[in-house]
Amino acid sequence: MDRQKELSEQSIIKLLVKYSIPAIIGMLVNALYNVVDRMFIGNIPGIGALAITGVGITMPIITIILAFALLISAGATASISIKLGQGKRDEAEVILGNAVSLSVLIGFILTILGIIFSGQLLMLFGGSENTIQYGITYIHIFLLGTTINLVGFALNHIMRADGSPKMAAIVMVSGCLLNIVLDALFIFVLGMGIAGAAAATIISQILTAILGIIYFTKGKSHLKIKKQNLKITLPCIKPILAIGSAPFMMQIAISLVQIITNNTLKATGEEIAIGAMTAIMSIMMLILMPLFGINQGAQPIIGYNYGAKNYQRSKKALLFSVLGGTIILIVGFIIIETMPNTLIRLFDGEGAMIDIAVPGLRIYASTMPILAVSIVGSNYFQAIGKAGIAMFLSLLRQVIVLIPMLFMLSSVWGLTGVWLAQPVSDIICTGVIAGFLLKEFNTYKASTQSMELESV
C-alpha cells in the first residue's frame, strides 16, 4: 500500500500506532539527555540540592541555545524537503551546506557571548551566592559545546528529510547512552561533580555530530556535505530563518517564562525551590514526551486527510490522539500522586528539598489528565496549516495566561501560588482550545452541506 492510499484508507488507530511509536521513542530519548544529567547532579553527595538548583538557573540559557538549534534545523529540514519534492537535489545540498555553516557561526557567537556574560545572566535568572558557582561551572563547560551541539542537532533533523529516520534515531540513542555512561563515570567514579555532568553532555553531543557528518560525507545519504556549499548565501538562509522562526520564538518565550518562574521562586525565600522546580519539570517532561510523540505521529494523518477534504478522518485522528494521550496522562497522574517521594528522590539523593518538591509536584500535576485536549488541540491547527492559530494557542498556555498567573497567585499564596499557576493556566486554556476546535468542526459541517447541495 502506497503512502497516500495508506493515509486515506487505513484504520486511524493503526496509522497512529505506526507513525507515533518511532516519534515517542525519539522524544523520550531527547528528554533523557537532559533528565539523566539532572538525576546524577541531584545525587552528588553533600551538594546535590544546591547543584541541581544551579542547573535550574542555567535552563533559560540552555533553552535559548535550543531555540537557535530549532531555528536552523526546522527551517533547513523543511526547505530541503521542499527542494527534494521539486526534484532539485543540488539546491537541497546547498541548503545542507549553509545549515552546517550557519550552525557553526551562531554556535561560536553564542559561546563567546555566553561565557562573557554568564555571571550577570545567571544572577538575573534566579541565581544567588550559594547557587551561582554551580551554575557557572555547568554552563561554561556546556557553552563550549554549543557549536558542535547545533551542528549535530541540525544534521540529525536533516537525516529525516534525507529519508533515514531510523539512522537519526540510532544516532540519538547512541548519544544518549554514552551520556548516561559518562555521567556515572565522571560524577561518581572520577569525582568531577557538576563539571562531569556538563562534560558528559558535550562528549555525547560530539558523538552525535561526528556520526551526522560521517553519514552526510561517507554514508549512504542522498545528500552530501560539499565544500562549495558551505559558503553562507542570503537567498539560501532567508527561507531557513523564515520557516524556523516559529519554533524559535516559542523557545524564546519558554525561556522568558523560565526566567520569571525562577525569580518568582527565589522571591518566596526558598532558595532550593528552583531545584525543586527543575526536578518537577524533569518528571513532567518524561510523562509528556509520549504525548508530543503522538502529536508528531498524528500530524501527517490529520494534514493529509484535511487536505483531501476528508474532514471526518482528520477529526477521528484528533479524537483518537486525545484519547490515547489522555490514557497516558492518567497513568502518569496516578504514578505521581501515589509515589511522589520516590520520583523526587531520583533528583534529590539526600532529601534536602523533599518537603518543598513533593507538594509542588502534586499540585503541578493535578490537571495532567486534561492536558491532551490543549496540547493535541493546538497541534491540530498546526497540522491543517493554520500556523497562526496554533502559535497563539501554544503561547496561550505557556506564556500569555501563565505569566499573569505566576505573578497573581504567588503574591497571594507564595510558593504554593507558583505551583498553582500552571494548573490554573491549563484549566483556562483547555476551555479556550476546546472552543476553537468546536468552531473549526462547525465549518466542516457547513462545507459538507455546501458540497452536498452542489452535487444535487
Contacts of 2 (CB under 8 A, 6+ apart): none
249 and 292 in a single domain? The answer is no
408 and 352 in a single domain? The answer is yes
Rg (CA), the chain: 22
Give the model's pLDDT for residue 453. 41
Give the model's pLDDT for residue 456. 41
Domain for residue 32, yes or no?
Answer: no
Domain for residue 70, yes or no?
Answer: yes
Q: Which three cell numbers stand for residue 333?
A: 497522574
The total domain count for the chain is 2
Give the model's pLDDT for residue 309. 86
Contacts of 397 (CB under 8 A, 6+ apart): 374, 375, 378, 425, 426, 429, 433
Per-residue pLDDT of the chain (456 residues; tens, 9 = 90+): 566 677 778 889 998 988 888 778 878 887 887 788 899 999 998 899 999 999 999 999 999 999 999 899 888 988 888 888 788 889 989 999 999 999 999 999 999 999 999 999 999 999 998 899 999 999 999 999 999 999 999 998 888 778 787 888 889 889 999 999 999 999 999 999 999 999 999 999 999 999 999 999 988 888 899 999 999 999 888 988 988 887 898 899 999 999 999 999 998 877 899 999 999 999 999 999 999 889 888 888 888 888 888 889 999 999 999 999 999 999 999 999 999 999 999 999 888 999 999 999 999 999 999 999 999 998 888 888 787 888 899 889 889 999 999 999 999 999 999 999 999 999 999 999 999 999 999 988 766 555 444 444
15 and 142 in a single domain? The answer is no
Report helix, strand and coil shares of the chain as percent, to nearest 5.
85, 0, 15
Give the model's pLDDT for residue 379. 86
Domain for residue 28, yes or no?
Answer: no
76 and 222 in a single domain? The answer is yes
Q: How far apart are CA 225 and CA 234, in angstroms?
A: 19
254 and 292 in a single domain? The answer is no
Centre a 10 Å sphere on the Cβ of residue 5 and count the other Cβ atoms it contains: 9
Q: Which three cell numbers stand for residue 78?
A: 523543511
Contacts of 286 (CB under 8 A, 6+ apart): 28, 31, 32, 35
Domain for residue 74, yes or no?
Answer: yes
Q: How far apart are CA 152 and CA 258, in angstroms?
A: 25
Domain for residue 35, yes or no?
Answer: no
Give the model's pLDDT for residue 169. 82
Q: Is 226 left (phi over 0), alpha (psi -120 to 50) or beta?
A: beta
Which whole-number Å values give the CA distances from 203 to 134, 145, 207, 432, in the listed order? 20, 8, 6, 44
Give the global pTM.
0.88
13 and 48 in a single domain? The answer is no
Q: Is 33 exposed, middle or buried (0-12, 13-18, 19+ CB in 10 A)?
A: middle
Question: The domain containing residue 131 runs over which residues?
Answer: 43-269
198 and 324 in a single domain? The answer is no
Give the model's pLDDT for residue 448. 56
Contacts of 390 (CB under 8 A, 6+ apart): 378, 379, 380, 381, 382
Nearest CA to 99 among 226, 247, 249, 250? 226
13 and 77 in a single domain? The answer is no
Residue by residue, DSSP assigns 157-179 as: HHHHHTT-HHHHHHHHHHHHHHH
Task: Measure the CA angle with vertex 251, ends 245 and 257; round to 5°.
Answer: 140
